[in-house]
Structure 1
Amino acid sequence: MTTTRTGRLDHPEPRTLARTTGHHALRQPTTPAVHCEDRTLTYEQLHRESNRVAHALLAAGLTAGDRVAYLGRESEHYYVILFACAKTGTVLVPVNWRLTAPEVSHILQDSRTRLLFREDEFAPVVDGMPSPPPATVLRLGEPESWRAGHPDTDTGFEATADTPVAQLYTSGTTGLPKGVVLAHRSFFAIRSALNSEGLDWIDWRAGDIALIGIPGFHIGGLWWATQNFNAGTTVVVLRAFAARQVVDLIRTLGVTTACVVPAMLRMMLAEPGVHAGDFATLRKTVYGGSPISESLLEASLAVLDCEFAQIYGLTETGNTAVCLPPAAHVPGGPLMRAAGRPYPGVRCKVIDTRGRELPPGAVGEICLHTPARMVEYWGLPDRTAETLVDGWIHTGDAGYTDEDGYVFIHDRIKDAVLVAGENVYPAEIENALEHHPEVAEAVVVGAPDERWGERVHAFVVPVEGRTPSPRDLHTFLVTRLAAFKLPSAYEFTDHVPRNPSGKILRRELRDRFWGASARKVN
């Protein structure tokens, strides 16, 4: 392995996750691969442990294409299982550990998961599921007899760039999450494009220590982790995000790169006593998941004092498809409100409601054509055909491009509320609310929130003669929805606005909170 004069890694690299750990175990066996709390696995250990788990999966009768779910917080175990799946052709289904038992049950049933790894903390969730769990549930922790005695050698499975390796669930506008199937190419295409053009918008250097602020059940966290594993750097994993802990880890471990959402930046800057010296080792911060305010971005640039790169994309695009490079981060500059520009090999177009491409400056739906795009929505061919059209991902986001190809996000065509980087879809909450015996109708919109970007605001039409209280509704929802989906406020009304065809005028309700703001996302 050699490095360029800029320090960037310069050696032939693997093209599938099935090859990643073996590649680095051979070249740098003692380099720390993943650090979590007080535990560290070297690349040789990560390779051998994932091989052992891979053989355990095969011994359990799993074959290529079978789904393997993970319900637990971030840990080295998660990535051992990821690479084990890659080495057997099985598909990892990471489950958001903040979900309730019914929500987890839907994901496991929909994905037809055959084996579930779960941490002890989430045993009550599995036990409380309305439908039986998968045939096999394996407990994570010591002792782990299920993998004892299995060899730590390669399985011999040969993945291709198009072999599915992960299935991540995104909330659906119909109220049910959809499984986005991603192939190995989703975790290599953008890095290859940057390297081929010699661009350092986002780069990985020998000796980097990379912190993951975003959970691995989110495409941003999974993508960032795999990029660093593919490059052979050290990945620092958080069991859960805590601002004080992150600041301390950056300082004590000498973290050089980090991937976070804007809400995390805000919380770090708000920590008492935090100062620029805490971030002295940082050379680059990658952020995305939700739009960022100019004031927060400028404050982050000043305190963290490192390069910043904004990424924009969807789970369906395999994460980032557009990047605002460090050079564009000029306080007060014209690009500070841009999402960025497409990577080499990625195309962007803006279309009107009839599918016609619009010129620069005109607002329409943003569509992205990227080699990292999803394979499909699992089991939903009609929904796949709506989103993936002739290789183009229809994002549901409204925006425009300028003459130089920079993308600006204006609003969202789809009705998602973005809470701290998590998509929350109104239909799911409305469906849950309308099961309450005293609720005749509910409409949910996003309202601006200084800390989380947006918050969930529910308009509720009570059943005639009934008056549910906000406390009643909260208690009703708390066992049905994850905490981040719960409304922060309830507004009772005798009707909701509709157009002549009866469609709810959701935008009219949203505009009460966003007013004349040019960008109706926060």
Structure 2
Amino acid sequence: MLFPLTFEQSVARTPDRTAIAHLNDGSELTYTELQTRAYRLATALRDRGLDPGDRVAICMANRPEHVVTFVATQLAGIVAVPFNFRLAASGVRYHIEDSDPELFLFDEISREAVTSVADDIDVPMVYVGDDAPDFAEPFADFADASAEKPDVDIDYDDPSVMLYSSGTTGDPKGIPIDQDSTSSRWIINSLGQHYYLEETMIGIMPLYHTVGLHGILCGLLSMSGTYLCMSEFDPEIAVRAIEDYGVTALHEAPTIFANMLDTDAIEEVDISSVDTIGYSGAPMSQSVFERTIETFDPDHIANLYGTTEVYGTLAYIDLQDIRDPTVTGPANVGLETRVVAVESDDPADTVEPGTQGELIVNTDSPVAFDGYWNKPEATEEAIHEGWLYTGDAARRTEENRIVITGRVDDMIISGGENIHPTEVEDVLLTHPDVADAGVVGHPDEEWGEIVVAFVERSGDVTETELDQWCRDSDDLADYKRPREYRFVDGLPRNPSGKIERYKLESRADE
């Protein structure tokens, strides 16, 4: 059941089915064509001296060449190392130095950043696109290699990919994932999201994230699905693709759903083919949640939680009757989770239902990583007695469901009381004139910290009106309401859609 085999089975099962379609330029590859290109690239990599276990860094958008590169590395036993293609030059340098690859592929989106540090990168580089820079070999040169299947034996504990954490609390950490984990991740995800043979999905979630890579791409290519990739997200194109390609499932960040729902196309095309919806990466507001259900009328909608270290952590329960976008399920298939007291390193120190704690995950699971790349101290800090401490604040409901309330480090302590930013944000986002909201703590002599809210308005709401809105809410204790409001044009978010609170904290000091 390893990915190299399940991909080959898809080729044999549906050789003429479209495997990849590029929504930005309309190009397509059948399964047979994808296999041939992957074979050629795998051979070219071996001809250039790369052996199983060597690493290939990939700084590319979601495009067919990225997919071909990933499949080729897996067939050749080489480790794919995809990372954020929108990194600044210093970020590109860091990832290359940290991962120490044998080859580095990049495209026009990352070209400027790569060019800035090209003299500092002592690794052969390959450019995907027209007019390759002088310091890089054109990707087209790899197309002439033999299309023979690589003669490589792949085993369960062989390395598959190395992904990187988002780096919101320090330098990004490399997270090696073996072949067993790559396979287990797409299988567990597909079970939870009700995916089966020949699904068609839009690939907006980036391929340097485990959701985009394992949850979507690997699952589709293992079950004869069609992957509709987008190098540049355009909500109008995405919505029209639903009708054009018969999209059956969507898994996106909440901001992507919001953008799609706001297009004119959403009222003009037939979207009835979509029967399964999942969202992850950031909380979905109640208003976007209700609009998503009303517009798509799916058979199943779920809030998904996972980490790069352990993907598919919690079960994907259908929220159509529950009508609460913050809720997810208990531990997923093949996983064990607990909610323990904050700042406790004892996995047995669990808290009662309804009490805020930290979510921890048993690493004795095929989807779990074994430790961070070249960072034994970070591994020791994150794993205690075989349990990964996720850093995510959570509470368990009486129905044995899990609600992720934010990051433990984001907790605001005001007057000795713990306040999680998301519980304040959830109330603000229910106001009809609030488009987005982000909450942080700010030092205060009397209270220790006060709650400061950054609000993107969609109407003419005032600070006084928002304060009264919070006072009137049955879901927010009075001590948790914001004491200051800052009205902004937009909130800083990372590629997963999560608020970059450290940037808001800096602005709160201004």
Asked whether the 8 Å contact 1:165–1:182 carries over to 2, the reply is yes
- Partner-residue secondary structure (3-state), 1:342: coil
Partner of 2:17: 31
The 10-residue stretch of structure 1 (276-285 or 27-36) with the greater mean CA deviation from structure 2: 276-285
How many angstroms apart in 1 are the aligned matches of 2:411 and 2:119?
A: 28
The reply to whether residue 211 of structure 1 matches residue 202 of structure 2 is yes
Gaps of 5+ in 2: 131-137, 413-420, 456-466, 481-497, 500-510
Match among 95, 109, 120 for residue 132 of structure 1: 120
How many angstroms apart in 1 are the aligned matches of 2:230 and 2:193?
A: 21
Partner of 1:20: 6
- Residues 278-316 of structure 1: per-residue CA shift (max 9 Å, x gap): 412111112111111222211110011112122101111
Please tell me the residue identity of whatever aligns with 1:207. Answer: E
Given the superposition, is the C-alpha separation of residues 452 and 366 from structure 1 closer, same or farther in structure 2, using an over 3 Å criterion? farther
Asked whether the 8 Å contact 2:41–2:143 carries over to 1, the reply is no
Given the superposition, is the C-alpha separation of residues 262 and 323 from structure 1 closer, same or farther in structure 2, using an over 3 Å criterion? farther
Partner of 2:42: 54
The reply to whether residue 233 of structure 1 matches residue 219 of structure 2 is no
Asked whether the 8 Å contact 2:193–2:316 carries over to 1, the reply is no
Asked whether the 8 Å contact 1:24–1:44 carries over to 2, the reply is no
Could you tell me how far 1:123 is from its partner in structure 2? 2.5
Please tell me the residue identity of whatever aligns with 1:150. Answer: A
How many angstroms apart in 2 are the aligned matches of 1:336 and 1:308?
A: 9
Partner of 1:100: 88
Match among 306, 319, 342 for residue 331 of structure 2: 342
Asked whether the 8 Å contact 2:55–2:80 carries over to 1, the reply is yes
Could you tell me how far 1:68 is from its partner in structure 2? 0.7
How many angstroms apart in 2 are the aligned matches of 1:176 and 1:394?
A: 18
- Partner-residue secondary structure (3-state), 1:109: helix
Match among 312, 315, 320 for residue 308 of structure 2: 315
Could you tell me how far 1:159 is from its partner in structure 2? 2.0
Higher relative contact order (CA 8 A, sep 6+): 1
Could you tell me how far 1:35 is from its partner in structure 2? 1.0
Partner of 1:442: none
Partner of 1:397: 392
Partner of 1:254: 246
Please tell me the residue identity of whatever aligns with 2:170. Answer: G
How many angstroms apart in 1 are the aligned matches of 2:392 and 2:81?
A: 26
How many angstroms apart in 1 are the aligned matches of 2:268 and 2:328?
A: 26
* 1:215-364 alignment, distance < 5 Å: 215-223=206-214, 224-272=216-264, 274-275=266-267, 278-306=270-298, 307-317=300-310, 319-326=311-318, 328-330=319-321, 333=322, 336-352=325-341, 353-354=343-344, 355=346, 356-364=349-357
- CA RMSD in angstroms comes to 3.2
Asked whether the 8 Å contact 1:329–1:336 carries over to 2, the reply is no
The reply to whether residue 366 of structure 1 matches residue 355 of structure 2 is no
Please tell me the residue identity of whatever aligns with 2:209. Answer: H
How many angstroms apart in 1 are the aligned matches of 2:46 and 2:265?
A: 51
The 10-residue stretch of structure 1 (160-169 or 106-115) with the greater mean CA deviation from structure 2: 160-169
The reply to whether residue 123 of structure 1 matches residue 111 of structure 2 is yes
* 1:440-455 alignment, distance < 5 Å: 448=425
- Partner-residue secondary structure (3-state), 2:231: coil
How many angstroms apart in 1 are the aligned matches of 2:162 and 2:260?
A: 31
How many angstroms apart in 2 are the aligned matches of 1:357 and 1:127?
A: 50
Please tell me the residue identity of whatever aligns with 2:331. Answer: P
Asked whether the 8 Å contact 1:116–1:134 carries over to 2, the reply is no
Please tell me the residue identity of whatever aligns with 1:217. Answer: Y
TM-score under structure 2 normalisation?
0.76
Could you tell me how far 1:192 is from its partner in structure 2? 4.1
How many angstroms apart in 1 are the aligned matches of 2:45 and 2:76?
A: 8
Please tell me the residue identity of whatever aligns with 1:53. Answer: L
How many angstroms apart in 1 are the aligned matches of 2:74 and 2:124?
A: 20
> Percent of pairs identical after alignment?
24
The reply to whether residue 179 of structure 1 matches residue 190 of structure 2 is no
Asked whether the 8 Å contact 1:201–1:309 carries over to 2, the reply is no
Partner of 1:475: none
Given the superposition, is the C-alpha separation of residues 191 and 121 from structure 1 closer, same or farther in structure 2, using an over 3 Å criterion? closer
Could you tell me how far 1:238 is from its partner in structure 2? 1.1
The 10-residue stretch of structure 1 (387-396 or 273-282) with the greater mean CA deviation from structure 2: 273-282
How many angstroms apart in 2 are the aligned matches of 1:96 and 1:510?
A: 32
Partner of 2:62: 74
Gaps of 5+ in 1: 1-14, 418-444, 460-495
Match among 186, 193, 198 for residue 202 of structure 1: 193
The reply to whether residue 170 of structure 1 matches residue 165 of structure 2 is yes
- Partner-residue secondary structure (3-state), 2:360: strand
* 1:150-169 alignment, distance < 5 Å: 150-169=145-164
Could you tell me how far 1:456 is from its partner in structure 2? 8.9
* 1:452-491 alignment, distance < 5 Å: none
Asked whether the 8 Å contact 1:263–1:452 carries over to 2, the reply is no
Asked whether the 8 Å contact 2:160–2:182 carries over to 1, the reply is no
Given the superposition, is the C-alpha separation of residues 368 and 76 from structure 1 closer, same or farther in structure 2, using an over 3 Å criterion? same
Match among 362, 370, 375 for residue 370 of structure 2: 375
Could you tell me how far 1:453 is from its partner in structure 2? 5.7
Please tell me the residue identity of whatever aligns with 1:65. Answer: G
How many angstroms apart in 1 are the aligned matches of 2:388 and 2:256?
A: 28
How many angstroms apart in 2 are the aligned matches of 1:363 and 1:300?
A: 29
Partner of 1:469: none
Partner of 1:409: 404
